[in-house]
A and B are shown apart, each in its own frame.
Chain A
Amino acid sequence: MSLSKPPWNHFGPHHPFPDKQRFHSFYRDAPSFLPPLGFSISAALVPPVTSNMSNSANMNALSQDEMERFQKLSNEFEPDVQVCDSPPSPSLASQARKADPAKGPLVSTKQSSHNIAMEYANADPAFARKTNALAVTHPTVRIMKGDGNCGWRAVAFGYFETLFSRLDPIRVRHEMARFKSLNTMLSQVGLQEHLYEIFTDATDEILTQTHQAIQNGEPDEEFLVSAFNDEYSANAVITHFRLLTSAWMKLNPQRYQAYLTLPLDQYCATRIEPVRTEIDEIGLQALVDGVLEGAEFGVEILYLDRSEGENVTPHQLTPIRPPGATIRLLYRPGHYDLLYRAESTYQSPPPVNMTPMVNLQYDMTSNLAAWDQGALNFDVNSQLMSIPNLMADPGFGMGAPGPMSPMPSVSPTPTSPFRLSPSQEMYSSPMQSHVSSHAPSHAQSHAPVPSIPVSSPTPTIPSAAPPPMTSLPSRSSDGPQIRLNPLVMKPNLSYSLPVTTPFKNSPYNQAHFQNSDFQPIHYEPNDSRRS
């Protein structure tokens, strides 16, 4: 058929393209633009005009062109599906080994991530390197069928799977009630109940199954895999999530419009609601905000792209959540799958080889958890966005530090090498508590300093030359008790965050016996806590 262009402007008024200038002044006029949730749209959603800046941060944001290319790639998965429209064969096991997203079941059983590494063995070296490293940190993966729904399906499946893994029937009941209450959003945007009830019924049905599975003590999530391989009910759940996302966006336009290149209603009508339209980053953020946020699960995307580095680039869409409650998506151009971290690393801070590309300036202020927090709590504000490297600095917390980073406000003088040690967060963060348990007893001397006045005395270490250690300020100074040795700024140490670990073992630490100024740990304990 020779039909080409969608007729969306046929019914409604023709919407002109939004005036970018207008959106910018909108933001200038409304510096309090802060999403109503506990976190803000993060670097992934920087509007096109500022997207070059997000490149400087951890995530190598894709250019508009690349995004479009990927969307195209994603769309090109569709023809495969047209061919295999028939319901998936029930013998999932036989198909599960296939890693080709265009074939196989809608949701595969868990399989080794080495399959992905194998796929890329002869591909671009960057992909080969990253997939190999990925197979170590995230040994299992669940392949989604590439039919234009894969991102939606991955999140939806990940949601139910995570919910099931909590083994908490009360929580499932709570989620059932929550989804019921989300129906009001659908009504608010004018959907009639008889049009959406089969979708909400499908979600409810799977929640009921999850509830029963927990109570029956089912050993694994096989029932979810079957449910998601029933095309009709999987489509219904995905449609439910799509409609909720669309409704959420329409009800919170101020949060998304600036990131869209077309009017929000049109975006929802053409990019969110139609069947088999792959999710993009804005849609994904909206899905997380509008549908998953209430469940308090984390969502993390690992980008497999050609960016520099040995590892896939992780990106958090939510605040850090308790271990085991995070849905991890693997994104490769045009496709989403689900990833699973090695079980044993659940209790750990991000493994070393998961370290995002870090601007060294960040290293000085933050451990990783705080750094992510800072990025997520950042108030997307045009003035601040115009200052390079500012976005992820929790020192700029706008007086509102994140819930997990009780860092007192510190002078953000970018040239000063002296920052508050991240040790406070390390000791207060439950996720990192093992660090303190390993810490030798003299870690006491790292006792948190309650507050550092912005006008604290200028520290005396020259920023350039680390030795000799005699230049360390005396303990009686009122300045920060923990000082980062300038050595930790060296690039070869940048992967050893959190920085206090090398520091406490370093002879440059006054508490270290090899330090020429070695001081017993009980040296003037009252003094050191005085401030």
Chain B
Amino acid sequence: MGSQKRIAKELSELTASPPDGITVTLLDEANLYEWKVLMEGPEGSPYQGGIFQIRLVLPTEYPFKPPTVSFATKIYHPNVTNDDKGSMCLGMLRPDEWKPSSKIGAVLEFARQLLAEPMPDDAIEGRIAEQYKNDNKRYDEIAREWTRKHANKT
């Protein structure tokens, strides 16, 4: 199957030379389609110092459909659902904007970049986006607090 071949190659590339602040492992060694990703909060963001666990799931139609990215660690962010799913779906991750030539590595870098620079105009959590735009200081405080509480290094 084409997708496995490609996923295996992408995985080995990512484990051999991981992008900044990102560590990738398989959730279950026997299943190429579910990845566990550890992401350090980017410097200068309220998420700095935290380590976020992300679940990356690849569809069987990969790479013709995008992977789904969800935060297993709770995070206060306009673009991540504030529920137990913690899903993130925008930009290159949208099914109709996905390019089959995109790599998983680029997806992860995109996600990390989103922590540094939220996109309030494409927000999924309107309330947090509102706050991010109008009361950035308060947003910063809460995000920092959540990071301390939920994304502590263990």
Contacts and interface: CB of A to CB of B under 8 A. Distances in A.
A4 B63 CA distance: 23
**Contact count band on B:** 20 to 34
A275 B100 contact: yes
B101 A239 contact: yes
B28 interface: no
A232 interface: yes
Given A10-B119, A275-B96, A198 B5 contact: yes
A342 interface: no
Interface in B108-147: 110, 113, 117, 119, 121-124, 126
A27 interface: no
Contact of A275 (B2, B89, B99, B119): B99
Contacts of B113: 10-11
Nearest to A247: B101
Contacts of A4: 121-122
Contacts of A201: 2
Contacts of B126: 2
Interface stretch (A28-36, A58-66, A118-126, A189-197): A189-197
A64 B106 CA distance: 34
B38 interface: no
B43 interface: no
A259 to B, nearest CB: 22
A232 to B, nearest CB: 7
A7 B64 contact: no
**Which of A3, A7, A10, A277 gathers most chain B CB within 10 Å?**
A7
A243 B101 CA distance: 8
A525 to B, nearest CB: 67
Contacts of B98: 274-275
Contacts of B124: 1-3
A239 B9 contact: no
Contacts of B18: none
Nearest to B87: A1
Contact of A191 (B65, B92, B101, B121): B101
A163 B64 CA distance: 26
A45 to B, nearest CB: 24
A236 interface: yes
B85 interface: no
Task: Identify whether the interface residues of B are mostly helix, strand, loop, or mixed.
Answer: loop
A219 interface: no
A192 B119 CA distance: 29
B100 A239 contact: yes
B2 A232 contact: yes
Instruction: Give the one of B9, B94, B96, B110 with max A CB within 10 A.
Output: B96
B19 interface: no
Nearest to A272: B99
Contact of B99 (A11, A202, A235, A274): A274
Nearest to B1: A232
Given A3-B90, A5-B121, A274-B96, A198 B103 contact: no
Contact of A194 (B9, B90, B100, B122): B9
B25 interface: no
A273 B101 contact: yes
Contacts, number: 90
A78 interface: yes
Interface in A1-20: 1-8, 10-11
A6 B101 contact: no
A202 B95 contact: no
B78 to A, nearest CB: 11
Contact of B101 (A2, A196, A232): A196
B77 to A, nearest CB: 14
A276 interface: yes
Interface in A269-323: 269-270, 273-277
A232 B64 contact: yes
Q: Which of A4, A194, A197, A202 has the most CB of B within 10 A?
A: A194
Contacts of B123: 2-3
B97 A194 contact: no
Contacts of B64: 232, 235-236, 239, 275
A199 interface: yes
B71 to A, nearest CB: 16
A1 B123 CA distance: 9
B99 A273 contact: yes
A2 B113 CA distance: 21
Given A3-B122, A11-B113, A195 B94 contact: no
Interface in B28-71: 61, 63-65
A201 B2 CA distance: 9
> Which of B89, B98, B99, B101 has most chain A Cβ within 10 Å?
B101
Which residue, of A1, A5, A201, has the highest number of chain B Cβ atoms within 10 A? Answer: A1
Contacts of A236: 2, 64
Contacts of B100: 199, 235, 239, 242, 273, 275
Interface of B: 2-3, 5-6, 9-10, 13, 61, 63-65, 89-92, 94-101, 103, 110, 113, 117, 119, 121-124, 126
Given A3-B89, A3-B122, A232-B3, 6 more contacts: A1-B124, A2-B124, A4-B121, A6-B91, A194-B6, A195-B63
Give the 9 A-B residue pairs with the shortest CB-CB distance, closest first: A198-B2, A7-B91, A194-B9, A273-B99, A235-B64, A239-B100, A3-B122, A3-B90, A274-B99
14 contacts: A2-B126, A4-B122, A7-B119, A8-B91, A10-B110, A11-B110, A78-B96, A194-B6, A198-B6, A199-B100, A274-B97, A274-B98, A275-B95, A275-B100
